[in-house]
Amino acid sequence: MNTQPLLTTEEVAVLLGVKPATVYAYVSRGLLSSRRNADGKNSMFAKADVDAFLAGRRRTTTPGIQTGITLIRDGGLYFRGRDATVLARTTAYEAVASLLWTGDLDDVPFPVDRNLSDLARAVTRPLPGTARLTDNLRVTVAAAAAADPLRFDTSPAAVVATGRQLLAAMVEGLPPRHAIPIRQMPFAEALWMRLTGERPTESGLRALNAALVLLADHDIAASTLAARVAASTRAHPYAVVGAGLAALDGPLHGAASGLAYTLLADSMTDSGPMVTISERLRSGVMVPGFGHTLYPAGDPRAAALFDLLDDGPARDTALRLDESLRTRSGTPANIDLALAALALHHRMPPDAGEAIFAVARTAGWLAHALEEYGDRPLRFRPSGTYAGAQPA
């Protein structure tokens, strides 16, 4: 006779600190075993199985993160099973954001809340001239959070609605370079108006939209891990985006495109790209815009974006640099160099690539937050190895 204690789905959810739907997800992924009760209608769980599952998910330095958002495999990038490079050529960023958040490719416009837009402009206007575009983004996100009394609502529908409205506000907080028409614009066009004084063209908007799509997510990058850690504490969506922006600020992450911009601009002078590369190598500094540990054969995001850029000195020089380093050292260009070429070709400022990266990745951070909100809270708790003075 089996006297092993059995638990209902609701009891298991309470024990694990998750929602019942998450318990069913664990079962569907084969992580937890269940059985039917006597009437065959409800699931029951052996307490010993639940205890073993819980023990395996205790806080660790690097808890296993199971995600259904992004796959990087065999040199390809996929969002929920769809090739990101194909999406970049065919799909609006708004639809890809929906795909990351809900699993459905719904092209839902990002609504512009006039009160929130006024607030974004008011809080960013006093920033000094030395402020970077990402400084505007951080200030806007903080102000938007303060203005939202329901910011701690982490239900999926609320997070998606917040994401769409926040992305629109982030762009509204950037200094305009055109007279902004009062109409609903595609997101790429609205961002274009804040990045360059050039008249928007079909090919330019297509390339900018592609850059947004290609950068929307990239598995558990450093900024995404920061966002997930924040979400695990049940920080609200604005704070999650703030955490992602903080980690993105480093020169080895989102700010790398600015370094690639300088490299590419120097390479377009009379001295030529080879002299620029030679000077970088001789000084012992890294050559920005090249190499990626996940794509030893070449970054597919860079190739896709280069294909969509108009011919011109920036694109041509970038491709010459790529060919030279790829041939000489087997180090192909990455997305940072392609972003730099996009920015230079359309007379955007040096930090435009970083801003594009930050705005694009906001969709990914919120997608990962949605997954984390459905998992056990506070599961990220590393322990340090103490190496200081011992107590007396």
Distance, in Å, from the CA atom of 94 to the CA atom of 100, rounded to the nearest integer, reads 10
User: Are β-strands 35-36 and 70-73 bridged in parallel, bridged antiparallel, or unpaired?
Assistant: unpaired
Backbone angles phi, psi at 78, to 5 degrees: -130, 135
- Contacts of residue 363, defined as CB under 8 A and 6 or more positions apart, other chains included, come to 93, 96, 97, 100, 101, 163, 167, 216, 217
119-126 long-range contacts (CB < 8 A, ≥24 apart) are 119/143, 119/144, 119/147, 119/169, 120/144, 120/169, 120/170, 120/172, 120/173, 121/172, 121/173, 123/173, 124/173, 124/174, 124/175
What are 82's strand-pairing partners? 79
CA dihedral (102, 107, 113, 119) in degrees, to 10, reads 70
Dihedral sign, Cα of residue 118, residue 120, residue 121, residue 125: positive
Q: Which residues are catalytic?
A: 292, 336
Asked whether 337 and 290 are in contact (CB, 8 A), the reply is yes
Asked if 191 and 356 touch (Cβ cutoff 8 Å), the reply is: yes
Instruction: Round to whole Å and give the CA distance between 231 and 198.
Output: 39
Please list the residues that pair with 46 across neighbouring strands: 6
Complete DSSP assignment for 156-199: HHHHHHHHHHHHHHHHHTSPPSS---SS---HHHHHHHHH-SSP
Radius of gyration of the chain (CA): 23
> Which of 238, 254, 239 is CA-nearest to residue 166?
238
